Amino acid sequence: MRYYLETKNLNKQYGTFHAVKDMNVHMVKGDIYGLIGPNGAGKTTLMKMIIGFANPTSGEILIDEKQGGKKIGNLIESPGIYGHLDAFDNMMLKAKALGVYDKKTITEILDFVGLSSAGDKKAGKFSLGMKQRLGIALALLGDPEILILDEPINGLDPQGIIEVRELIIRLNEERNMTIMISSHILGELQKVANVFGIITGGELLMEITSDELKERCSGDSDSLEEFYLDVVRKGRKVC
């Protein structure tokens, strides 16, 4: 199979601490890749290496440029938002910093994420869901082909979760965007992702598609959590 993004024996060490160990991740263009694991498993470290915020100790990160460029948007941890500015001005500042300022494009992105009606409301007054959608809008500047989202629904109320979920699905379906997303809310992750990578202790234990998961679990729509716990308890690296 021809992969759009893959890592080969990727490692990251901080002193004697091995945060990521010989990790081999495989993403096909158009995937929504759900990254699963406990706190400290290495998910955020992996994401930071993919987007270039951290350098691998060893190993490779490969993107097939024949299937697209190397533009990667990201929302890692909390969005970098200026609370005293409205949504447009937050977007304008980042766009100018990236050298891609275009008023029409900013307006279109804000409309796409559902923030065009926010007007001159200051971002500091936004709900948490609105802040996350603005964070995703900021990540879309520069027209990335790959989007990396670290816990984008963490702390959101049910309505905010639904809004972010629908936005992720639209980005994938309407813009053919390849997305890697981490979340501890496995039932929600199962609603959007088509492939899952299970990580613990810095190791990738397994990659499984949503179709394979349905086959193994007899089509149970809430099977991801049970399957994940079973894999982690066994602790077997199978990929």
Per-residue confidence at 77, pLDDT binned at 50, 70, 90?
A: confident
The burial of 16, by beta-carbon neighbours within 10 Å (0-12 exposed, 13-18 middle, 19 or more buried), is given as: exposed
Per-residue confidence at 93, pLDDT binned at 50, 70, 90?
A: very high
Three-state SS for 146?
Answer: strand
Write down the residue that tokens 């994940």 correspond to.
228
Q: Are 72 and 148 in contact (CB under 8 A)?
A: yes
Q: Where are the alpha helices (DSSP H) in the chain?
A: 43-51, 87-98, 103-112, 128-139, 158-175, 186-192, 210-216, 224-234
**Rounded Cα–Cα distance for residues 4 and 29 (Å):** 5
Strand pairing report for 195-200 and 146-150? unpaired
Q: What is the pLDDT of residues 21-67, one digit of tens each?
A: 999 999 999 999 999 999 889 999 999 999 999 999 999 999 987 77
Q: What is the pLDDT of residues 156-215, one digit of tens each?
A: 989 989 999 999 999 999 998 999 999 988 989 999 999 999 999 999 999 999 888 888
Instruction: State the maximum Cα–Cα separation within the chain, in Å, rounded to a whole number.
Output: 53
- Domain positions in the chain are 1-39+190-211+222-239, 70-144
Cα dihedral 80, 84, 85, 87 sign: positive
Average pLDDT of span 213-220? 70
Which residues lie across from 122 on neighbouring strands? Answer: 86
Per-residue confidence at 220, pLDDT binned at 50, 70, 90?
A: low
Per-residue confidence at 221, pLDDT binned at 50, 70, 90?
A: low
Q: What is the pLDDT of residue 179?
A: 96
| Pick from 100, 130, 105: nearest CA to 115 | 130
Q: What is the pLDDT of residue 33?
A: 97
Q: What DSSP string runs through 149-205?
A: EESTTTT--HHHHHHHHHHHHHHHHHH--EEEEE-S-HHHHHHH-SEEEEEETTEEE
Which pair of structure tokens corresponds to residue 70?
A: 């190397």
